Amino acid sequence: MRAILALSLLLAGCSAQAPADNGAAGGASDLETAAIAAGAIPDPRTAPIEGLYERSGDGGPDRVCLLRDGGESYRIGIDVMFGDETECLARGNAVRNGERVSITLAGKGECRIEARFDGREIALPGSVPDGCAAYCTRRGSLAGFALGQSSASRADAASVVARDGALLCEGPA
C-alpha cells in the first residue's frame, strides 16, 4: 500500500511541474542558441545575406541574388523555372531586419513579400499577394520556394545573368 501511495505522489509531482521553457530570446530554442554560440550554425540575425542563392530546378538553375545598396537595403533578383516554360522573373528591392526580409518587386505590378532568412537560406512564404502573379507565367508562383546560399561573394551575385539575358540584380525595372 505504501508503494502505491509513494508512486501516486511521485506521478502527481511530475505532472504538476511547469513545462520546460524551450524558447529563448528571439524565438530560438535552447538547442539552437547553443549551436549558434558554438559556431555550428550561423546566427540568422547577423549572418551576411548578400550573395547568390541557388538550387537545381526542373528547367535549369533557380536563382536569387541579393546585393547590398547600403545599410540593410539590397537589390534583389529572382529567377525561378518550373519547367514547361513556366517561370517567375522579378527584380526589386529588399530590406533586412534580422531574420525578416521585406521584398518589394518593381516593374510589373505591386508585390510585397515578407521572406525569412535563417542564416543559410532565403525562404518565401507559402502565400504571396495576388499582385505577385504578374512576375510569373502560366501557373508559376513566387510562393513557398526556398534557396540556399551558394556564394556570399558580391561579384558572384552581381554577375548572374537571368533567363531574359539581363543581369539578375541589375536593379528595379
* Class of domain 51-158 as given by CATH: mainly beta
pLDDT at 114 over 70: yes
Q: Are 61 and 87 in contact (CB under 8 A)?
A: no
More reliable by pLDDT, 96 or 57? 96
* Angle formed at CA 65 by CA 95 and CA 133, multiple of 5 degrees: 75
d(C-alpha 43, C-alpha 60), whole Å:
30
d(C-alpha 13, C-alpha 44), whole Å:
39
Query: Under 8 Å CB-to-CB from 133, ≥6 apart: which residues?
Result: 141
d(C-alpha 34, C-alpha 17), whole Å:
24
pLDDT at 83 over 50: yes
Name the burial class of residue 15, with classes exposed (0-12), middle (13-18) and buried (19+) by CB atoms within 10 angstroms of its CB. Answer: exposed
pLDDT at 145 over 70: yes
pLDDT in tens, 11-65: 344 444 434 444 444 456 787 677 767 767 767 777 889 999 999 876 788 999 9
Mean pLDDT for the chain? Answer: 82
d(C-alpha 63, C-alpha 1), whole Å:
69
Q: What is the pLDDT of residue 28?
A: 61
Domains of the chain by residue range: 51-158
Mean pLDDT across 79-96: 91
pLDDT at 165 over 50: yes
CB atoms within 10 A of CB 101: 22
* N- to C-terminal Cα separation, the chain: 81
More reliable by pLDDT, 9 or 36? 36
Q: What is the pLDDT of residue 82?
A: 86
d(C-alpha 102, C-alpha 93), whole Å:
8
pLDDT at 117 over 60: yes
pLDDT in tens, 119-144: 999 999 999 999 999 999 988 999 99
Q: Are 136 and 86 in contact (CB under 8 A)?
A: yes
pLDDT at 6 over 50: no
Q: What is the pLDDT of residue 1?
A: 42
Q: Running DSSP on this structure, what letter comes out for residue 19? A: P
Q: What is the pLDDT of residue 169?
A: 94
